[in-house]
Amino acid sequence: MNETMNKETANAMNNVFSLIQRNNLADDAKQVIGHDDDGNEISIVKKTVRFEIAKGKRAQVDISNPDIINSVDKINAARHGVDIMSYVICRELANLQGHEEELQKMGFDDVADFGRSVFGYSRNTVNQYVRVGKAFILPDYSVMPALPSTISVSAMLEILAYVQKDGGALDVPLLTNLYNNGILADGMSTKAIRDSLLKWSQSNALEAGQESGESKQDESKQGKKRGRKAKADVSQQGQESAPASIIDRLNDMTPDAAAGNALNALEILSAIFQKFAGENESEVWQGSISILQDIAREFVK
């Protein structure tokens, strides 16, 4: 094992194995409800387990059976072990991308082709792992400090679509603010992260649209006051200095940035439909937009 697989990662795995091998109940599975006449604590076995996927309106369940609690704890410990090993895979695939020219000399198209042939991963899986490894996983295989230390790779992929700039760089201040402002929180499931970010993005899109509309109304009033000639001059100047649109920048855009722009556009569309399409049509447009979002995530090279 690499010396840098540092003690932190090795210790984390040791903790996982300790939890799996443990037979006694964890401290958080016991709740003190009072004291007897001698001052001794009276406790009951009870643990609240949150759902990854809500069951109807229920998002958690209280469990009092020690055997069930132990099984749930061991499964969750094993899942965390899988996450830790996934961090290693993501980081090392990102490292392999730095040797892409050498891989091509060996007969592979790119790191995705190498990963598909050597490890049996799909090209998309390799590319997604590379993205996460580059953006979020440190050389010692730990997660960057702005994220919860136990976050899953799938959750990081959801977040990456919102915090990656056009050039592929990570918007660290935005990522930090998402957690500091309570939009994201430690322990959220991948679905909860997806829903929270979508709601936040839609809210931002609507606010931006309203501000843009108000700004255009103000400009229109000012233009009328200046007269037709001034208005024509302003229009001409605007055409000359107008920034390139997303379509104009497609040739220079990376697949990651293109996917991000597509997802942002779909979020704006979703916000518009949510506000104006009405409840009767919601199932139709929500399903269609969800399909397009999945396609956008999949075409990342």
**DSSP state, residue 231:** H
Q: What are 258's two structure tokens?
A: 């293109």
Q: Where are the domains of the chain?
A: 7-142, 192-298
The string of pLDDT tens digits covering residues 132-174 is 999 999 988 889 999 998 898 999 999 998 998 877 788 999 9
Higher-pLDDT residue of 63 and 209 is: 63
What number is the average pLDDT over the span 96-100? 94
The partner residues of 34 in beta bridges, in order of sequence, read 42
Residue 137, SS3 per DSSP: strand
Residue 200: per-residue pLDDT: 92
Confirm if 276 and 102 have CB atoms less than 8 A apart.
no
Q: What angle is formed at CA 12 by the lines to CA 22 and CA 92, rounded to 5 degrees? A: 135
The better pLDDT of the pair 52, 158 is held by: 158
Cα angle at 81 between 119 and 7, to 5 degrees? 100
| Tokens at 253, concatenated | 């855009």
Beta bridge partners of 143: 137
The per-residue pLDDT for range 246-268, each reduced to its tens digit, is 666 666 666 766 777 777 777 77
Neighbours of 238 (CB within 10 A): 10
d(Cα 98, Cα 215) in Å, to the nearest integer? 46
Residues 6 or more apart whose CB falls under 8 angstroms from that of 98 comprise none
Give residue 235's pLDDT band: very low, low, confident or very high (50, 70, 90): very low
- Note the pLDDT tens digit of each residue in 65-77: 999 999 999 998 8
pLDDT grade for 93, boundaries at 50, 70 and 90: very high
Give the span between the Cα atoms of 97 and 102, in whole angstroms: 10
Is-contact 87 141, C-beta < 8 A? yes
User: In sequence order, which residues have a C-beta less than 8 Å from that of residue 162 and are 6 or more positions away?
Assistant: 174, 178, 197, 201, 260, 263
pTM for this model (two decimals): 0.59
Least confident of 261-265, 281-285, 287-291: 281-285
Distance of CA 189 to the CA centre of its chain: 10
* Strand (E) or helix (H) holding 180: helix 172-180
Residue 80: name the closest of 9, 183, 23 by CA. 9
The pLDDT of residue 104: 95
Query: In terms of pLDDT, which residue wins out, 171 or 12?
Result: 171
Give the chain's length: 301
Kindly report which listed range (50-54, 71-75, 99-103, 257-261) carries the lowest average pLDDT score: 257-261
What's the sign of the alpha-carbon dihedral 130, 135, 138, 139? positive
How high is the pLDDT of residue 36?
A: 83
The mean pLDDT value of the chain amounts to 79
DSSP H or E segment with residue 267: helix 255-276
Span 168-191, average pLDDT: 90
Q: How many CB atoms lie within 10 A of CB 55?
A: 9
Task: Place 94 in a pLDDT band, splitting at 50, 70 and 90.
Answer: very high
